[in-house]
Structure 1
Amino acid sequence: MGNVGIVGTGVMGRAVAAVFLEKGLAVHGYDAFGPCVKVARENGIIMHGSLAALARATDRIILFLPGPAEIAACVAGPGGLLAAAAPGTVIIDMCTSAPETTRAMADAAKAAGVRYLDAPVLGRPATIGKWALPVGGEAEDCALVEPLLRLFAAHVVHMGPSGSGHKVKLLNQMMFGAINAMTAEMMAVADKVGIAPGRLYDIITASQAGTVSNLFKELGRRVSEQRYDDPTFTVALLAKDVRLGLEMADQAGAPPLVGRTVDFLNRASCAQGFGGEDTSVMWKSLGHIWQGGDAHGQG
């Protein structure tokens, strides 16, 4: 398959790059964050100093960026990928983004003779190889890159026109947010009534009840261990994702109910300084709300 490019060499980008390198592909990268550049180089990724240089090095480019603004700047902004990408290049947007941004980028790419797909990841970094990728864009473009995507994903499903993949991802993130918020609330109430959150986690997971999802296991384990500063997924990113999901629902004339409460807790947690920590920390936010800043933090 030759080579492939990755824009955004954080946790997800490096996970995908590791698979490509193991399969014998040359991986070219770009990242605006210095520490990520250093780690990427140490991992064997050929890092470039500009998006244009990356676009000239490969005709298959995967994006792992924080959100719509960063994607728009990367793809269609001054010095972006489209300024240097050769006709026929395929850009695969694996971020979590707004469907309208996706459609705008796909239109801009088409005008430049470039193919554009949205294929966000359904799965955690540790489960790479088992990921599901809902894909939006032209079916023939999806078929073209499916062999590449199947190197690290178990399921590649064409969902419809541009933006369809991101619609699926936002719906998934709304559910993620609800499970996360309910876990936070349960842990905070447990602490309030004198049940240590860590012990609550132990008994619930031992029960194998229907409430024990993989996400609950991950969140509860982190609460039990009081381990929030090496995030699998940050509060700030979840807040962004849920907000995008609510905006999508509002635009469709389906105003969310549960989602509004989740959004409130996400925003409150960010305002209290938890934005850079793992989403499991959000149970402490409720403690602050209820007790005027006093969260016990027992585990």
Structure 2
Amino acid sequence: MSTIAFIGLGIMGSPMAVHLATAGHQVVGFNRSPDAYGPLEEAGGRAAGSLAEAVAEADVICVMVPDSPDVEQVLTAEDGVLAHARPGALVIDFSSIRPDVARSLAERATEAGLRMIDAPVSGGQKGAVDAVLSIMVGGEEADVEEARPLLETVGRTVVHVGPAGSGQTVKAANQLIVAGNIQLVAEALVFLEAYGVDTAAAMDVLGGGLAGSKVLEQKRGNMLDRSFEPGFRIDLHHKDLGIVTSAAREAGVVIPLGAVVAQLMASARAQGDGGLDHSALLRGVERLSGRGDTSPEGD
């Protein structure tokens, strides 16, 4: 069993840390807001008083924070991982960040005597709670294999996709596909409703054919009920699509549909829907169609 520091106990990080503690590992958590420790402590983990304290004795340091600057802060701050982790410790970054930042941080970790892999996840809050996340991993093969038992504790599908930064590149592609799929499911639903179709029955038959997808399966309920409690917030998906469009430009790759979806995601955020689940792209389709309650959330 390992001693694990888990940095970032949000809607994804908290259940992941709980699974690791339940599996018998000694998990020390650190989170910027102090009200996040309850589930980890109930599972046998403990809270650290500082980032430096959390990582000081850890064999493995897991990071699950929102964006590239947050990961950089966790690693490079005066009280951060590079300054306080034990030599040889393995850093697993579960966050979704820019591939170039992942590569740069892996190099800095190596210079500091640490090892680092990027292991972004897909599956949302439900996947984290059920420990069925899909995890795309970039880094040295030996480090990935050492981490695999931990990765398989929080995920169902764990695939090594290449060197440092590769996991983040695959995650960017994942977010591109998911966003496009959500947008098209939303457009299909508004289209069906305009013709008075039994939408639940329509979703059943669509889900059984080539139009079926995990997005349709998992997000249909949100859309049919107009219930957008966040499993994955529009704010975060907006960030991820910014990563995709920037990386595509750097590679000289054209993503015309992706660019449109990125603008629709940005529009939803600008309209006040950033804190809602990304299935709330439906609200943007309704606004454009002059249908439904199109007021910003909370009005």
Q: Would you call these one fold, judging by a TM-score over 0.5?
A: yes
- Counterpart AA for 1:254: V
291 and 154 in structure 1: CA distance in 2 versus 1, 3 angstrom threshold: closer
DSSP 3-state at the match of 1:49: coil
2:278 aligns with 279
TM-score by length of 2: 0.90
What residue in structure 2 maps to residue 205 of structure 1?
204
Moved more, 53-62 or 180-189: 180-189
Post-superposition, which runs of at least 4 consecutive aligned residues in structure 1 deviate over 4 A? Answer: none
1:168 aligns with 2:170: yes
**Match runs of 1:229-240 below 5 Å:** 230-240=229-239
Cα deviation digits, residues 90-149 of structure 1 (max 9, x gap) = 110111110111011111111110101001113334344433322111111112222222
Q: More deviation in 263-272 or 177-186?
A: 177-186
When residues 149 and 225 of structure 1 are mapped into structure 2, their CA distance, relative to the original with a 3 A threshold, is same
- When normalised by structure 1's length, the TM-score is 0.90
Q: How does 1:1-299 map to 2 (within 5 A)?
A: 1-127=1-127, 128-191=130-193, 193-195=194-196, 199-206=198-205, 208-228=208-228, 230-291=229-290, 295=294
In structure 2, distance between residues paired with 1:283 and 1:212? 18
Letter in 1 for 2:169: K
3-state SS, counterpart of residue 58 of structure 1: coil
| AA aligned opposite 2:100 | E
Comparing 86-95 with 11-20, greater Cα deviation is found at 11-20
How far, CA to CA, are the matches of 1:158 and 1:62 in structure 2? 17
Does the 8 A contact of 2:131 with 2:155 survive in 1?
yes
Aligned length: 293
Q: What is the alpha-carbon distance in structure 2 between the residues aligned to residue 173 and residue 60 of structure 1?
A: 27
Residue type matched to 1:90 in 2?
L
2-side partners of 1:273 and 1:139: how far apart?
43
Q: Is the 8 A contact 2:18 2:40 kept in 1?
A: no
Distance, in Å, in 2 between the alignment partners of 1:21 and 1:38 is: 13
| Secondary structure of 2:273's aligned partner | coil
CA-CA distance at 1:36 after TM superposition: 1.9
How far 1:212 moved relative to its partner?
Answer: 2.0
- Once the two structures are TM-superposed, the CA of residue 185 in structure 1 deviates from its matched residue by 2.0
Consecutive unaligned residues in structure 2, runs of 5 or more: none
User: Quick one: distance in 2 between partners of 1:240 and 1:157?
Assistant: 24
1:22/1:216 CA distance change after superposition, 3 Å: same
1:238-295 superposed Cα distances (whole Å, 9 cap, x missing partner): 1111111111111100021000110011001001111001111221122223439964
Q: Check the 8 A contact 2:2/2:59 in 1, yes or no.
A: no
- Tell me: CA distance 1:194–1:254, structure 2 relative to 1, closer, same or farther (3 Å): same
- Does the C-alpha gap of structure 1 residues 183 and 110 become closer, same or farther in structure 2, counting only changes over 3 Å? same
| Aligned-partner Cα distance in 2 for 1:195–1:64 | 43
Identity among equivalent positions (%) equals 28
